[in-house]
A = this chain, B = another copy of it.
Amino acid sequence: MIKYILLGFLNYQPMTGYEIKQTLDHSVSHFWHAYHSQIYTTLRQMEADALVVSEFIHGEGQPDRRVYSLTDAGRAEFTTWLDQALTEMSPVKEELILRLFFSARRDKNSVLAELYLQRELHQKKLNEYLGMTAGEIEENAKSIPELARDAIFWKMTLNMGISYEKMYVEWLDRTIQEIERL
């Protein structure tokens, strides 16, 4: 899967592994996540498979960089992936909900404390996403007309992040109330 994300970003422009990691963290982080170790090793493999090529740039003064770009085979692989529609739902793995499932015998206040902490985290995420709506995406869209259509799609994914976090906070509020009443 990470392979297609890397192909997807490199399809916009040549980048280093480091830049891909930054871009990933600032664009798709609310629905995908990867460590730099995985990115670097996958890029290497992809080069062995001729999906990308890299150019090593020795930085005078600056750090060295390895800039990757797509080959035609890479571009083809990316398109093939995009053209095969998903026919299943992504499996969800949510540790908090799992813990709550088994929490009947736990101390009520410990459970509440855990939920309050999660509420804070999710509220913070929500605010972060709400701040992004006006900002980053709009800039990209308006400065580069080529990306105007992309920006519409990026925003739809951001809206999912917002809907998700709103739903999460609301569920936490209801659940906290319910446990307090026990």
A87 within 8 Å of B (CB atoms): yes
Copies in the complex: 2
If A83-B110, A106-B82, A170-B163 touch, whether A93 touches B125 (CB-CB below 8 Å) is no
Q: Please measure, in the bound complex, the distance between the C-alpha atom of A166 and the C-alpha atom of B171, giving whole angstroms.
A: 12
B-side contacts of A105, CB under 8 Å: 149-150
Interface of A is mostly: helix
Interface residues of A (CB under 8 A from B): 1, 4-5, 8, 11, 27-28, 30-33, 78, 82-83, 85-106, 110, 113-114, 117-118, 121-122, 125, 149-150, 152-154, 156-157, 159-160, 163-164, 166-167, 170-171, 174-175, 178-179, 182
